[in-house]
Structure 1
Amino acid sequence: MAVRNETRVTHFILLGLSNNPDLQILFFVLFLVMYLLIIAGNLLIMTTIYVDSQLHTPMYFLLCNLSLIDLSISTVTVPRALALFLLLKNTISFRDCMTQLFFLHLIAGAEGIHLVLMAYDRYVAICNPLRYTTIMNRQTCLLLVASTWAGGFFHSISQSLPIILLPFCGPNELDHFLCDGQPLSMLACSSTVISEIVDIVNSGFLALSCFLVLVISYTYIISTILKVHSGEGRQKAFSTCATHLLVVILYYGPIVFIYMRPSVTFTIDKPLAVFYSIVTPFLNPIIYTLRNERARKAMKKLGSRKISCMRKHIN
């Protein structure tokens, strides 16, 4: 016991995405630019929805929470990665590593659940439009958002606690740019069977079950849309659903691949982690604004208002 206490790992060494200095600089520039655009894009969406009273609807309320989630997950991952790429600061304390692990799964779990709830909103709007305002009232929306974060919290506790309780006595080189359950469990100096089972069951099957629920929901939604006689109404419904479905595929594709298998080393895991933690939050604002005419008009209106205020101050 004394030997284990003396050799207990107090920090981890993140190996990053590559050991090539030129690639490290390239990664830094790409990550920095994408992170700044993530901040700008998601803050713009949240500000627009807050300011424009016409967007105070359940769909945009849920979209606002999705923007908050995307902004949060990138903030948990990108700043540490930037320090790693530019300053070659590749050490992270045990406490900071476990903190990042907890918040990573908290926010990722919340996003997975939230996408299902956004699909429910579309299901009610299209399949039961006459009762939409009654079902999706303010109390229901607040309850859905609260359940999103509560579900993410319980997912994160069950995901991170088995890892935190594992003994780490060396080696301490983590083949990743962030702290995640599978690469961490490979460094433990005891059996990781329980943590691996929890990892696969909790993350893998949760992601798969949510994805299946989404597929079933959209099967009903699409079948309902096809029955719409109005061509314009059918096109509008398809456009809204296609936007959300694209976001679902971008998020769940990498997640299901990573967690629906045993924890063995695959070099593709790190690029996939980049995809769901950075690329997806970067693309979501673009997808929603490009395909949503109402949101585009509201943003233009907000921009015009800001320009007018600036001109008044100048004059």
Structure 2
Amino acid sequence: MPRAFRICAVLFLALGAAPAVAQDTPAPFESDAAIKADLLRELNALADAGKTRTAADLLATRPASPPAVTLPAPATVALDGERLYRRLREGTVILGGRYKCKKCTHWHLNTASGFLISTDGVVVTNRHVLATGDLEAMAVMDGEGKVHAVLELLAQDETHDVALIRIAGKGLRPLPLAVKAPAPGAEVAVLSHPNNRYWMYTTGHISRVAEWADSKTPDIRFPVLCITAAFAPGSSGAPVTDRAGNVLGIATRIQPVQQAKSDDGHKPEKEGEAKPPAGEYTAMVIPMAVPVRWVKEAIDAGKKPDER
């Protein structure tokens, strides 16, 4: 037997005799392209079957009575990061709307975020999600990849940017709403879909509770939660929760703080500007969330005091 072969044989036997080393099971990864393709395919099938509604049709709805929503009880046990991610995934959804561009005849997909608040398919999102573009049909993908048609608009609050919709689904895993308003320093988590990056989990704290006024209604001012957990366009409607998974607010907007390149001092940002003008840069971005109290008020609107 050649010497090199004998050495290889000895090494093979030695390695074969060594105890097997357990290998970690690789974590599942997200394929953004596959998720988006699956949602669009299922949405198209629902639309072809006449089971969807346009966003404009939904927004034109004026419900005759307050929505009947059975909310889950608040959670009381704080979870570690992995368990909290899994819990949020059960109750968070991808909201998809299809549209056509002017360059081709294919359907395209616009996606945002939302979360379940009842087992029978009541979903919370931002109202501006429904008002974005000309969405011809809408559907929701849950954390298991199942796609559900959007059936109706239950309530909307343009001032606070809240919308409640119902999807076709039963036995779902909703997220509970927080009972107590949070204070600066409280830990938060967000599960959202920033710019087609699906199921992204971020954490941080409430950095402050600030006064906000929408440009359309400048005289109406209300508190918003400023947080350090990152999100971006596509995250609108996502749940901002505490460590137990109770929803504290809805991810709604990001506000850039702009700084003059030639100025070391403070330069106020220009609200509503998509990018800084020449000579300025974005020093930081402040993610902002609408407090969950406005969801509760949307549910209670129109109810008698003894029914709330």
TM-score normalised over the length of structure 2: 0.22
Higher RCO (C-alpha under 8 Å, 6+ residues apart): 1
Q: Which has the higher strand share?
A: 2
For the pair shown, the structure with the greater C-alpha radius of gyration is 2
Higher helix residue share:
1
TM-score scaled by length of structure 1? 0.21
